[in-house]
């Protein structure tokens, strides 16, 4: 069964309450279904920002996209999630990943573990948060039962296995990071392989998860090749045709971009699409073209 499209915007810029509420209301006006907050130092503090977003709007859900597991003690995270879900009247989606930026760990005084160590910590955090939200009567009472939907972000086999076991939403970044947090985009074919791996791990699920993709670049243009040439210096391992095929690049006319996203939904299953705050306005016409389909 093909899922209908759903659209999120990841809000990156910290600001005061009046401006924050105005930006969230603007996201709602443009038709976004989910207002999201990342978990990077120098960006909005996730949980208070989500409570404020929910108070300023009526329709959108709110979510973390995504929490850095290393920054959180599982018991305290469960408390924050349950309390936020209660205060937002059941609009929370809890997103979490391993974290990938070494410099942020250094600034926070938190050990930057090996990739395997970070996945181990993510698994422990997810298992404990899932258990606590379902069982611990000492937590604030979340509005959603048995717990808010869980989103797990990542591309590696172990993270995808974890997502297959616990997550209602699986977020594919379309890129891989090195030890210093530098992201390298996956080719369309490599992303095929990652989605296929997840589907193998999730073969025994009773109900399929929703699949999410973070779109990094949105550009309205009548010359797709000229637009993609602008980003080629950041992707020296790709030629023009490969860059045009990248799922995390959306370039062209509104109709071309909408058709690209329909084709990607058919190919990969991505029905929940997230854009970064700087692309919120530029992506709105594509959202409106796809809304309800």
Separation between Cα atoms, residue 206 and residue 202, nearest integer Å: 9
Neighbours of 114 (CB within 10 A): 9
Residue 211 pLDDT more than 90? yes
Res. 231 pLDDT band, cuts 50 70 90: confident
Beta bridge partners of 153: 171
131-159: pLDDT as tens digits? 999 999 999 999 999 999 999 999 999 99
Q: What is the CA radius of gyration of the chain?
A: 18
- Provide the mean pLDDT of the chain: 95
Q: Which helix (H) or strand (E) holds 249?
A: strand 249-252
How far, CA to CA in Å, does 247 sit from each of 6, 172, 186, 238? 16, 10, 9, 13
Is 86:143 a contact under the CB 8 Å cutoff? yes
The predicted structure's pLDDT at residue 256? 97
Bin 7: left if φ > 0, else alpha if -120 < ψ < 50, else beta.
beta
The predicted structure's pLDDT at residue 232? 85
The predicted structure's pLDDT at residue 184? 82
Separation between Cα atoms, residue 123 and residue 143, nearest integer Å: 25
Q: Range with the lowest mean pLDDT among 41-50, 151-160, 179-188, 262-271?
A: 179-188
Q: Where are the domains of the chain?
A: 6-218+253-290
Residue 177 pLDDT more than 80? no
Separation between Cα atoms, residue 217 and residue 252, nearest integer Å: 11
Burial of 247 (0-12, 13-18, 19+ CB in 10 A): buried
The predicted structure's pLDDT at residue 106? 96
Beta bridge partners of 272: 6, 212
What is the per-residue burial (b if ≥16 Cβ within 10 Å, else e) of 11-35? beeeeeeeebbebbbbbbebebbbb
* Residue 292, both tokens: 């309800």
Q: Report the percent of the chain where pLDDT is more than 70.
A: 99
Note the pTM of the prediction, 2 decimals.
Answer: 0.96
Q: Which helix (H) or strand (E) holds 210?
A: strand 210-215
38-81: pLDDT as tens digits? 999 999 999 999 999 999 999 999 999 999 999 999 999 999 99
How far, CA to CA in Å, does 285 sit from each of 11, 86, 102, 225? 19, 33, 36, 21
3 state DSSP class of 82: helix
Kindly state the DSSP code that residue 237 receives in the 8-state scheme: T
Sign of CA dihedral 212, 216, 222, 228: negative
The predicted structure's pLDDT at residue 233? 85
CATH 3.20.20.30 fits 6-218+253-290, yes or no: yes
Kindly state the DSSP code that residue 172 receives in the 8-state scheme: E
């Amino acid at each position: 069964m093909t899922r209908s499209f759903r659209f999120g915007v990841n809000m990156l810029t910290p600001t005061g309450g009046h401006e924050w509420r105005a930006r969230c209301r603007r996201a709602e006006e443009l038709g976004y279904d989910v207002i999201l907050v990342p978990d990077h130092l120098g960006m909005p503090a996730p949980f208070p920002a989500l409570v404020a977003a929910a108070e300023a709007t009526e329709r959108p859900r709110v979510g973390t996209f995504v929490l850095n597991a290393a920054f959180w003690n599982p018991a305290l995270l469960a408390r924050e999630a349950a309390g936020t879900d209660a205060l937002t009247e059941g609009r929370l989606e809890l997103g979490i990943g391993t974290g990938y930026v070494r410099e942020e760990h250094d600034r926070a005084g938190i050990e930057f573990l090996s990739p395997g160590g970070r996945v181990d910590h993510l698994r422990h955090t997810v298992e404990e948060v899932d258990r606590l939200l379902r069982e611990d009567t000492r937590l604030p009472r979340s509005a959603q039962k048995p717990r808010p939907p869980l989103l797990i972000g990542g591309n590696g086999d172990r993270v995808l296995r974890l997502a297959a076991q616990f997550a209602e939403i699986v977020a594919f970044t379309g890129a891989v990071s090195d030890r210093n947090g530098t992201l390298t985009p996956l080719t369309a074919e490599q992303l095929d392989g990652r989605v296929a791996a997840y589907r193998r791990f999730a073969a025994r699920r009773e109900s399929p998860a929703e699949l999410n993709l973070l779109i990094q670049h949105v550009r309205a243009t009548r010359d797709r090749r000229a637009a993609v040439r602008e980003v080629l210096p950041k992707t020296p391992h790709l030629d023009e045709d490969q860059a045009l095929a990248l799922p995390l690049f959306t370039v062209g006319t509104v109709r071309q971009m909408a058709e690209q996203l329909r084709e990607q939904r058919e190919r990969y299953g991505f029905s929940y699409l997230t854009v970064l705050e700087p692309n919120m306005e530029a992506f709105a016409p594509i959202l409106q073209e796809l809304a309800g389909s």
